[in-house]
Amino acid sequence: MKKSAIRTSLILLLTLIPLASCIVTDPTLGAALVPGNQNISIRTATLDLPVDLRMADSLQSSISQSATVGAIRSRTFGLFHSDAAVSVTSAKDSVEWGANPTVRSVSLELIRDTSMVVDPSQIFIPQNYYVHQLTIDLDSTKVYNNSIGDGDYDPVPISEGVSLFLGGDSYTVTLKKEIGEKLLAIPTATRDSAELFMKAFRGFYIRCDDPKEGMYGGRLCTFDLSSSYLRLVWDFDDTDGNRKSGTAFFSLGQKHVVNRFISGSRDLEHADITQNLYMEGLNGIKPHIDARKLRDAVTSWAAASGLSTDKLLIAKATVSFPFEYDGDRDQFNYYPSSLFPCQRVQKEKRLNYTPIDEINDVYLENGEINRSLLQYTANISLYLQDLITRDREELTGKDDLWMMPILSYYDSYSSKTYYYSDYYNYTQSVLNGTAAERHPVLQLTFAVLD
Quick: pLDDT tens for 111-169.
999 999 999 999 999 999 999 999 999 999 999 999 999 999 999 999 998 889 999 99
Closest CA to 324 of 402, 443, 429: 429
Helical residues (DSSP H) of 350-425, grouped into ranges: 381-389
For the cut 60, the answer to whether the pLDDT of residue 413 exceeds it is yes
Q: Looking at residue 9, what is its pLDDT?
A: 53
d(CA 43, CA 60): 41
pLDDT confidence tier of residue 192, bands split at 50, 70 and 90: confident
- DSSP single-letter state for residue 428: E
> 360-389: per-residue pLDDT in tens?
999 999 999 999 999 999 999 999 999 999
- Is the CB of residue 29 less than 8 Å from the CB of residue 16? yes
For the cut 90, the answer to whether the pLDDT of residue 271 exceeds it is yes
**At what angle are helices 291-304 and 381-389 packed, to 10 degrees?**
80
The angle formed by the CA atoms of residues 3, 364 and 295, to the nearest 5 degrees, is 55
How much is the average pLDDT of 330-335? 92
**How many whole angstroms from its chain centre is CA 18?**
38
Q: Looking at residue 164, what is its pLDDT?
A: 92
Q: Looking at residue 189, what is its pLDDT?
A: 87
Lowest-confidence pick of 39-53, 70-84, 86-100: 86-100
pLDDT confidence tier of residue 303, bands split at 50, 70 and 90: very high
pLDDT confidence tier of residue 23, bands split at 50, 70 and 90: very low
Percentage of the chain with pLDDT > 70?
Answer: 91
For the cut 50, the answer to whether the pLDDT of residue 29 exceeds it is no
For the cut 50, the answer to whether the pLDDT of residue 20 exceeds it is no
For the cut 60, the answer to whether the pLDDT of residue 225 exceeds it is yes
pLDDT confidence tier of residue 346, bands split at 50, 70 and 90: confident
Task: Specify whether the backbone of 384 is left (phi greater than 0), alpha (psi in -120 to 50) or beta.
Answer: alpha
Q: Looking at residue 7, what is its pLDDT?
A: 59
Predicted structure pTM score: 0.89
Q: Residues 6 or more apart from 118 whose CB is under 8 A from it? A: 72, 74, 217, 334, 428
How much is the average pLDDT of 84-103? 90
Q: Looking at residue 3, what is its pLDDT?
A: 58
Q: Residues 6 or more apart from 276 whose CB is under 8 A from it? A: 430, 431, 432, 433
How much is the average pLDDT of 186-196? 90
How much is the average pLDDT of 419-435? 96
For the cut 80, the answer to whether the pLDDT of residue 232 exceeds it is yes
Three-state DSSP state, 122? helix
Q: Looking at residue 343, what is its pLDDT?
A: 97
Lowest-confidence pick of 29-38, 78-87, 137-146, 167-176: 29-38
pLDDT confidence tier of residue 265, bands split at 50, 70 and 90: very high
pLDDT confidence tier of residue 449, bands split at 50, 70 and 90: confident
